[in-house]
Structure 1
Amino acid sequence: MHYLVDFNPVAIALGPVQVHWYGLMYLGGFAGAWWLGQRRLAAGRLPVTRDAFADLAFYVMLGVILGGRIGYVVFYNFGQYLAHPLDVFKVWDGGMSFHGGLLGVLLAGWLWSRAQKLHFFDTIDFVAPLVPIGLGLGRLGNFINGELWGDFTQRPWGMIFPAAPELAERSHAALLAAYQAGELEAFARHPTQLYEFALEGVVMFTLLVLYSRKPRPRYAVSGWFALLYGVFRFLVEFVRVPDVQLGYLAFGWLTMGQVLSLPLVLLGLFLLWRSRHAPTLQPQVVAAADGDN
């Protein structure tokens, strides 16, 4: 029997205050990135103080949140938010774009690098291995929310998502009764959130951390990040159902996610090509300035 994805998206409820699993996943992503960033900083992967790194983390956090939200509005649901502009602030309803978040991180990294007088790609090479932590946890949040599912499948690992359009009108009690009676087997879908958790989270994290354990030429780590994410996302989109307001953009299979990921593949290849003759930033631990704790 296929698994029924039936989680409560609220992790903690204290009266009117609700803490959603999706929000906790974002916090976990930031915490994990902070931890790994501190380790990379201690290894001399970026010649700045801990205070400067804290500023970078703050810039990146804002880039992820603002860029992710604005990117979703612009890329995926512009008409809806144009008609109801205040809905932009309803982040608890979901709606974040990786590609928008990436642009936000790049802008944050550029501003911070200018202030620190560092090469932009030295910063981005430092940040790139940190990102898959948040990517993977974010996909787990999507899974708990029962959103962003895939096409129908009868593979053993297919799962049933109550929020899918063919089931959404049923009450929770009726849904459980039908599931226990084995009547929902035909509605199993690809758990594309878990595919992306494995590829964009676990695989990318492992490869990038291992690859960046020793100094690499400038652009190389960023190039691998862009290439891996672009390829993984492009492939998963073949079995992921596109946003209902967009549908398939062309050929009966091309999605917005694929359109936005293809430039990343090309950028990754370009950066890897450029890294062949680029300098390598050597480890350098910067001592804290007087007064720093």
Structure 2
Amino acid sequence: MLTYPQIDPVIFSVGPLAVRWYGLMYLLGFLIAYFVIRALAAKRNIGLTGDTLSDLLFYCVLGVILGGRFGYTLFYNFSYYIRHPLEIFAVWEGGMSFHGGLLGVIVAASLFCLRRKFPPLLVGDILVTAASIGLGLGRIGNFINGELWGRVTDVPWGMVFPGAGPEPRHPSQLYEAFLEGAVLFAVLWWLHSRKAPHGVPFFSFFALYGGFRVIVEFFRQPDAHLGFLWAGATMGQLLSIPMVLIGVAGILYCRRRIIQP
């Protein structure tokens, strides 16, 4: 069994203002995304520079925050928030959904492309590649916070998380950081280097993230207020399976469109 590192979630505080590792991970994610998007835009010969790139990131930040919050209230705690609707806006109390954030970014980026006349699939290819970095960093933030821990295990790398009882558990946050962050980014970057048809990296993100999430959910403890749902699946799995299907169908469509005369 490994020892959980017990990192203080607060880096430093000045009076009532506290700078937390989780918030820093979000900030680093958006900062790195800026440079990744700029590099890929140059590689794919699309004019995302200067103010245009800043505007795109602004749209995406709004999409992540609004979509992630409303997705959490809808998918994970709807019965509570329908009784306390004003608390939907209390984002400082936590509660964000990846799947909701993804939908929010898709809507926001689509509006950006419509207004600025950019090809939506190519912009999507670039955005999902940059997003994988933020996903990996976010999971590291979850690990530092000691939240979203895994199921009880007897593997040698199991850890006892604060507030999760005395039994060792899978560090499932690190599994997700590796698969949804490092591995996903490497595959998508490789697709760009191979000049994959427009849309293939975008839909590959759907297929791979969905597949990785389904796998990791077998090691991650489901949310206490939801538990196991239909056929013993978790909410994360039920939301990710459609992503795999959409991703595979999208890849086939994009490749078939290219090879047709």
Of 238, 241, 245 in structure 2, the residue corresponding to residue 262 of structure 1 is: 241
- SS state at 2:207 partner: helix
Contact 2:180 2:212 in 1 (8 A): yes
Higher radius of gyration, 1 or 2 = 1
Q: Amino acid of the residue matched to residue 181 of structure 2?
A: G
**Which residue of the partner structure matches residue 90 of structure 2?**
90
Deviation at 1:17, TM superposition (A): 0.7
Gaps of 5+ in 1: 167-183, 281-293
Return structure 1 stretches of 4+ with deviation > 4 angstroms: none
Relative to structure 1, is the Cα distance of residues 49 and 4 closer, same or farther in structure 2, using a 3 angstrom cutoff? closer
**Which residue of the partner structure matches residue 241 of structure 1?**
221
Query: Which structure has greater helix proportion?
Result: 2
Of 185, 189, 201 in structure 2, the residue corresponding to residue 221 of structure 1 is: 201
Matched, 1:277 2:250: no
- SS state at 2:40 partner: helix
Tell me the distance in 2 between the aligned counterparts of 1:19 and 1:84: 28
Q: Amino acid of the residue matched to residue 87 of structure 2?
A: D
Relative to structure 1, is the Cα distance of residues 278 and 54 closer, same or farther in structure 2, using a 3 angstrom cutoff? farther
Greater Cα offset, 212-221 or 78-87: 78-87
Tell me the distance in 2 between the aligned counterparts of 1:121 and 1:276: 13
Q: Amino acid of the residue matched to residue 99 of structure 1?
A: H
Greater Cα offset, 228-237 or 125-134: 125-134
- Encode CA deviations 1:255-286: one digit per residue, 9 max, x unaligned: 11001001110011011101113359xxxxxx
Contact 1:45 1:126 in 2 (8 A): no
Tell me the distance in 1 between the aligned counterparts of 2:71 and 2:223: 14
Deviation at 1:82, TM superposition (A): 2.4
CA RMSD of aligned residues (A): 1.6
Tell me the distance in 1 between the aligned counterparts of 2:34 and 2:54: 9
Tell me the distance in 2 between the aligned counterparts of 1:73 and 1:204: 27
Tell me the distance in 2 between the aligned counterparts of 1:57 and 1:278: 29
Gaps of 5+ in 2: none
Q: Amino acid of the residue matched to residue 246 of structure 1?
A: L
Tell me the distance in 2 between the aligned counterparts of 1:41 and 1:123: 8
Of 189, 198, 205 in structure 1, the residue corresponding to residue 185 of structure 2 is: 205
**Which residue of the partner structure matches residue 18 of structure 1?**
18
Relative to structure 1, is the Cα distance of residues 161 and 5 closer, same or farther in structure 2, using a 3 angstrom cutoff? farther
- Encode CA deviations 1:24-49: one digit per residue, 9 max, x unaligned: 11101100100111112233442344
Relative to structure 1, is the Cα distance of residues 247 and 71 closer, same or farther in structure 2, using a 3 angstrom cutoff? same
**Which residue of the partner structure matches residue 142 of structure 1?**
142
Tell me the distance in 1 between the aligned counterparts of 2:41 and 2:2: 45
Tell me the distance in 2 between the aligned counterparts of 1:224 and 1:51: 29
Q: Amino acid of the residue matched to residue 162 of structure 1?
A: P
Tell me the distance in 1 between the aligned counterparts of 2:132 and 2:208: 11
Describe how 1:1-293 pairs up with structure 2 within 5 A.
1-164=1-164, 166=165, 184=166, 187-251=167-231, 253-279=232-258
- SS state at 1:3 partner: coil
TM-score (normalised: structure 1): 0.84
Deviation at 1:81, TM superposition (A): 2.0
TM-score (normalised: structure 2): 0.94
Deviation at 1:57, TM superposition (A): 1.0
Percent identity, aligned pairs only, is 48
Tell me the distance in 2 between the aligned counterparts of 1:232 and 1:156: 22
